[in-house]
Amino acid sequence: MFSISPQIIRRSHKFLPRTLVPRRTAHIPSAFLLDNYIPRYRLLTGAQISQKKEQAIEHLRNCNICPRRCGVNRLAGETGYCMIGEKVKVSTIAPHFGEEPCIQGTFGSGSVFFSGCSLRCSFCQNYDISHQRAGFDLSPEELAEWFIKLQTVGNVHNINAVTPEHVVPQLALAILAAIPLGLKIPIVYNTSAYDGPEALSLMDGLVDVYLADFKLSSPVSSKRLLKAPDYPETAKEGIKLMQQQVGDLKFTFDGIAQSGVLVRHLVMPTYVEEGKEIMRYLAEHVSKDTYVNIMDQYHPAAHVGKANRGKDVGNPRYAEINRPVTSLEVEAVQLAAREAGLWRFVEESPHEGFR
C-alpha cells in the first residue's frame, strides 16, 4: 500500500549541499488519506467522559451490552452467557502481526485478546480462548496500564481489542482511564459483529477503527454454526452503525489505517453463496468503498469433525465444513465482491504472526 522505492532522487543547489530524498510511492487515493490524525477519544470533553463512565457502569449493573441481553448485575459478581463478571479475562497481551498489514504495520498492533465470547462458533479458530475462557483477570484500571505499556514499550501503531463484544463496558472504562495516563494511539475494535446497538453507542467516540467479521448471512446456518440465529441481522445493522460513526477506512501517508471500517469474511466450505451475499450487502447497503479482507485460511477446528453422539453416533459433527476451503471457493467470493462494485481489498500480510 505504501513503499519507499530503492531509487533515490538526487537534488543539488548551488547554495545548499546535495541531499538524498526518498521517492515515495503511495497507492492510496487522496480521498482516503489523512495528513494528521487525533484519536477520537482525545477529542472528548470532560462532560462526555463522565457520561461515558456512567453509561458503562450502568451496563455492568444491568447487562444488555450484547444481543443475549442477560440482564445480570456484573458488579455483584453475576455472570451471563459469556461467563465473565466485573473484571475482564485476558489470554494474551502483546504486539501482534496478523492478517491486515494496514493495521499491524511495521511494529504491530498492541493486541489484547479477551477470553470468553457472546457466540458459540462451532468452527472457532481460537477455541481455547473464546470457549474455554483461558487467561487472567484484569480490572479496567489494570487494563489501562497495559495499554500504556504496549504504547510505550511495544512502540505499536494502535491498541487492538480482540473479541471485546462481551466486555464493552470494561473496555470503555479502560480507555477512559488510559487518557490521563497518556494514551495517544488509535483504538481498533476487533469484533465478530455480534454487537448490540448499546455497545456501539458506548464505543462511539472511543473507537477509531472497527475491524468487523461478517461470518454468515442466513439465520439457519447462523443458528447451526454460531448458535445465534439473529447473527446476520445483528451484523448488518451493526456494520451500518460502525460506518455511520467512522466512515470508510482512511490512512496516514505511512499506510497505517487510522480511522474507518474494515470488514473481514472467512470463506467457508459449502457456504460460498453466503459469502457472495455478504459482499453484495456491503456494496449495496454500507459502501462500495468498504475495505474488505476475504480470508482463505479456514480449517476445521473446535467442534468440527468430532464424533457425534446420539442417533448420529460415530459420524463427524458439522460434516459440511469438515475440510479446508478450496482456492476455487475463495475466488468465487472474490469475484462476487468485484462484481458487486467493491474494490478495496486487504493485501497479503508479510508476517506469519499468531492469529
- Residue-wise pLDDT for 75-104, tens only, equals 999 999 999 999 999 999 999 988 899 999
Q: Which of 90, 57, 51 is nearest to 75 (CA)?
A: 57
| Residue 53 is assigned to a structural domain of this protein | no
Identify the weakest region by mean pLDDT among 96-100, 110-114, 227-231, 236-240: 96-100
* Grid cell locating 150: 504496549
Is the model's pLDDT at 333 over the cut of 50?
Answer: yes
- For residues 115 and 133, the answer to whether their CB atoms sit within 8 Å is yes
Annotated binding-site residue numbers: 117, 121, 124
Residue 330 lies in a domain: yes
Residue 46: predicted pLDDT: 97
- Specify if 257 maps to a domain: yes
The DSSP annotation for 52-84 comes to HHHHHHHHHHS--SSTT-----GGGT---TT--
Measured CA distances, 62 to 57, 70, 203, 332 (Å): 9, 8, 17, 44
Structure confidence at residue 19 as a pLDDT band (50, 70, 90): very low
Predicted structure pTM score: 0.90
Q: Please say whether the beta carbons of 105 and 254 come within 8 A.
A: yes
pLDDT of residue 311: 66
Could you tell me which residues are annotated as the binding site for [4Fe-4S] cluster?
A: 117, 121, 124
- Would you say residue 351 lies in a domain? no
- The DSSP symbol for 261 reads E
Q: How many domains does the chain have?
A: 1
Is the pLDDT at 144 greater than 90? The verdict is yes
**Domain assignment of residue 297, yes or no:** yes
**Residue 96: inside a domain, yes or no?**
yes
Here the CATH number for the domain that contains residue 280 is 3.20.20.70
Q: Is residue 59 part of a domain?
A: no
Domain that holds residue 95: 2-9+86-345
Tell me the pLDDT tens digit for each residue of 166-189.
999 999 999 999 999 999 999 999
Mean pLDDT, range 196-202, rounded to an integer: 97
> C-alpha angle with apex 108: 103 to 109, nearest 5 degrees?
65
Q: Confidence band (pLDDT; 50, 70, 90) for 310?
A: low
Does 328 fall in a domain?
A: yes
